[in-house]
Structure 1
Amino acid sequence: MMIRTICAAAGALAAATAASAADRELTPAQAKAREIYETAIGIRSAKGHGKVPELAAYLADELKSAGFTDEDIEIMPLGETAALGVRYRGDGSSGKKPILFLAHMDVVDAKREDWEHDPFVLREEGGYFLGRGTSDNKYGVVNLTQTFMRLKQEGFTPTRDLVLLFTGDEETGMETTRMLAYDRKDWSDAEFALNSDGGGGAYLPDGAPLPYFIQAAEKTYATFTVTSRNKGGHSSRPRADNAIYDLARALLKVEEYKFPVMSNDITRASARSGGELIGGDIGKALVAFADNPDNKKAIKTIRANEDYSNLLSTTCVATMLDAGHAENALPQSAAATVNCRIFPGVEIEAVRETLVDVIGNDALEVKLADDRFVASPVSDMREDVTAALKAAIDPRYPGIEIVPAMSSGGTDGMHFRRAGVPTYGVSGRISAESENSNAHGLDEHLPVKTFYDGLDHWIIMIKALAGPDEE
């Protein structure tokens, strides 16, 4: 595609960055985006409240008001939650399969008594939007929704179908994600997917951009339960096979064990970029590792740094304990929760078998806590996606470097990758280096500047990837 012509269309929405809505003259597109944002934040789409279908219906109505029809939209209920699919029909001139655009409508719950203000009422204060979901991931939901609406209203016809897929339980069981990725191929069969819940960039206090990290891989999230059992007895008659002690010895072995170092093109590129940026001993070690993943000195330095050690391998750590039944009785059982973040391409069963070998006690049971966990492959980088992303970012931050990266957390992308759809985290979010959105925590927030600056992000990407060729 002729991306240079698309860049010229950017920037109109990036002008409004003042701290207060009263000080800002909003364009109609900006005002509509803010309205949708405020309404979406106001719907408590957390597990147990049954509000995700309400949010899906609201978004569907907004999209219909912009020109989408009932035939273009499907709300897919599943238990108390739901998924939303929206098809933007192309003319088929590219001969290519659709592109998926991903976001999740659900949020981690928040209690009113824990927050100074109601977490489900959007407020703007000190240059930030505050409220549950402002960052994770209603920003992505709103940004993609307003993008489809604006493109439809301007009469844009893509050269292939574009498909919005909004899931309803990414923060919990990912059942709607599984349904879409594996069971609803009528919606999810695509050439690739772009995920609003991954990737992102930052800038320094002087405005100079840091690298933008595009998520092309993520570690699998899997939890195991390690259990020790025996017949117990009275606490006045201690036994040699105390269930708590047996479990404790097992956990110390897990603590000491380091999974084998692994790497791929994505993690090496990320290590190199990060190392060149931060410098110092850890920076040198990261660059040396990128040059030679067998460099023992570099590995030792990285292993010792808690900010970067998870780049090297699968990690497992004890996170919860449950043992005994009475203070004057020997424990009949003791169980520990061990959470693992598994390197892309490694199967979950292989990690369980490793834990069994490390513990070295056949009397202890090592069991996967939930069989819904899945391994996720790496998505090979695509020049067209990278070029479109650069076109979207350059109007805001000319010359920004785009670097592939692996996420240590989990997103919907893991299931789409496993289902054979390469997936890339390319969020429109770029904010200050020091910025922490506190997603899942108190006073979750998103900079007002980031919100408005990113409203053209997906429009530029879509026109680069699915717009007509220009001579």
Structure 2
Amino acid sequence: MSEVARICSDLIRFDTTNPGSGERPAAEYVAELLSGAGVEPVVFESASRRTSVVARIPGDSPEALLVHGHLDVVPAEPADWRVHPFSGEVEDGCVWGRGAVDMKGTLSMTLALVLDWARRGVRPRRDLVLAFLADEEATGAYGARYAVTHHRELFDGCTEAISESGGYSVAAPGARVYPVAVGERGTAWMRLTATGVAGHGSRPPADNAVAELCHALSRLASHRWPVRLTPAVAALIRSLEEVLGERIDTDRLEEEAERLGRVGVLFAAQIRNSANPTMLEAGYKVNVVPGSAVAHVDGRFLPGHREEFLETVDRLLGPKVTREFVSLEEAPSAPLDSPFFEQLCAALVAEDPAGRPVPYVMSGGTDAKSFSGIGIRGYGFAPLMLGPDLDYHGMFHGVDERVPVEGLEFGVRVLDRLLAAT
């Protein structure tokens, strides 16, 4: 088994489900590997067992590049999986388990490269700051947010960063497309509350909080958000037109996304805001009308469209439903007309001459939001070559998550080209 696959398997075997018992064992494993490579780790906790690790590899330039990722994973139900989600088994040429793609596979590539550099005596051109963080799968309050607030000095000199959700291959006719993320949608996780008159369930309804909340959620869920073509997504579509050799009709982007399949997924969720109800809580007995009802909504907004999003949400909810934010984070962006973006693309093409890098905006969110707040420009770049039968997006938070061993090895080579030279 290659070193990167072994590290990936080891990391998956640490159950770092969030919420759960925390990231400490995985963080200690990471710190031990870094120490063994001669890199001094800084280990800190924001709360009991909510552990992060940051280390700096000195280079020859006062500027620094941040490489960050998260140690936590979302829950997994073993009965639904072909293999146990925390086994880290290697089967059919893939490492299986929760976090293989999101994102312990990427962490393993970084760690394998650091160990290889230690053996070869490689020194990067500029400082590299490596961050292995807690709590990305929640709000980041115990991870990236805590790190930039309480350990800001660890990131001194960092001007750019790379992390998850970019640099992976997507099969296209005659080419492999590699989306390199230059931004992501903003996050507005909301707690909605409706209040009414409590009473007996057999009486005529007076002011039913459950009904009021359901009506509001129905309006929100059925709303057709208008298409908004942001500059980065427009650049993606122009690039895809060049790769595919055909026109993409920007007046029918929803239909075009469906027609183009996995290539269309790259812009399907990035052309509009969204608000999905995800949790409901109300009542305690069938014959009692409760005095309040609560719901949670996962809201996402395009760069530059936060106010439009919030105004629309308030209008749809109506005056009887209040909202408060569980998490509100701006939509970060990084320049695609920059030398660093060109270096990211060049590193991919050097290892895959058939690769066609394109700019990309993530539909979800990452810790890049926290680092953007301290002036670090974040790019989604976790290089990974995938076979045409593997659905990268489908494995995020999905069942039977797995990553090809050859894909991990490809990623180590790409990172070696990038990080040793930039």
Shorter-chain TM band:
0.7 to 0.9
Give the Cα separation in 1 of the matches to 2:152 and 2:92: 44
Are 2:43 and 2:51, in contact at CA under 8 Å, matched by a contact in 1?
A: yes
Q: 2:385 aligns with which of 414, 430, 438?
A: 430
Contact 2:334 2:378 in 1 (8 A): yes
In structure 1, stretches of 5+ residues that fail to align are 1-20, 22-30, 290-296, 466-471
1:314 is aligned, of 256, 261, 273, to 273
Q: Pick closer, same or farther for the CA change 1:196–1:241 going to 2, 3 Å.
A: closer
Which residue identity does 1:342 align to in structure 2?
F
More deviation in 146-155 or 209-218?
Answer: 146-155
SS in 1 for 2:175: coil
Q: How does 1:34-433 map to 2 (within 5 A)?
A: 34-47=5-18, 49-50=20-21, 52-68=23-39, 72-79=40-47, 80-92=49-61, 96-174=62-140, 175-189=142-156, 190-203=158-171, 208-274=174-240, 284=247, 287-289=248-250, 297-298=251-252, 301=255, 309-347=268-306, 351-360=309-318, 362-368=319-325, 370=326, 372-433=327-388
- The structural deviation recorded for 1:440 is 2.5
Quote the offset at 1:329 in angstroms: 3.1
Q: TM-score, normalised by structure 2?
A: 0.87
Paired positions, count: 412
CA 237–303 in structure 1, closer or farther in 2 if over 3 Å, else same? farther
Match of 1:13 in 2: none
| More displaced 10-residue stretch of structure 1: 188-197 or 454-463 | 188-197
Q: Distance in 2 between matches of 1:383 and 1:134?
A: 31
| Partner Cα distance (1:48, 1:64) in 2 | 28
Indicate the RMSD between aligned Cα atoms, in angstroms.
2.8
Structure 2: gaps of 5 or more residues: none
Q: CA deviation at 1:423?
A: 0.4
**TM-fit CA distance, 1:316:** 1.1
Bigger Cα Rg: 1
Relative distance call for 1:404 and 1:303 in structure 2 (3 A) is closer
Whether the aligned pair in 1 keeps the contact of 2:53 and 2:132 (CA below 8 Å) is: yes
- Whether the 8 Å contact between 1:127 and 1:448 is mirrored in structure 2 is yes
Q: Equivalent pairs: percent with the same residue?
A: 26
SS at match of 1:317: strand
The separation in 1 between residues aligned to 2:398 and 2:268, in whole angstroms, is: 24
Shift of 1:378: 1.4
* CA distance in structure 1 between the aligned counterparts of 2:103 and 2:177, rounded to whole angstroms: 22
- Contact 1:345-1:377 within 8 A present in 2 as well: no
Q: Deviations over 1:64-123 (max 9, x none)?
A: 22222xxx320112212111111101133xxx4211011111222334444454322222
Query: 1:450 pairs with 398, 407, 413, which one?
Result: 407
Contact 1:210-1:401 at 8 Å conserved across structures:
yes
Q: 2:188 and 2:408 mapped to 1: Cα distance? A: 33
Q: Are the counterparts in 2 of residues 439 and 445 from structure 1 also a CA contact under 8 Å?
A: no
Letter in 2 for 1:142: S
Task: State the distance in 1 between where 2:399 and 2:257 align.
Answer: 31
Structure with the higher fraction of residues in strand conformation: 2
Using the size of structure 1 for normalisation, the TM-score is 0.79
Residues 1:51 and 1:318: Cα distance change in structure 2 (over 3 Å): closer
The aligned amino acid for 1:74 is: V
Q: 2-side partners of 1:302 and 1:233: how far apart?
A: 51
Q: What is the alpha-carbon distance in structure 2 between the residues aligned to residue 109 and residue 255 of structure 1?
A: 25
- Report deviation, 1:459: 0.7
- For 2:171 and 2:199, how far apart are their aligned partners in 1? 61
Matched AA of 1:325 = Y
Query: How far off its partner does 1:268 sit?
Result: 0.7
Cα separation, partners in 2 of 1:276 and 1:258, compared to 1, 3 Å:
farther
Distance across 2 between alignment mates of 1:277 and 1:301: 19
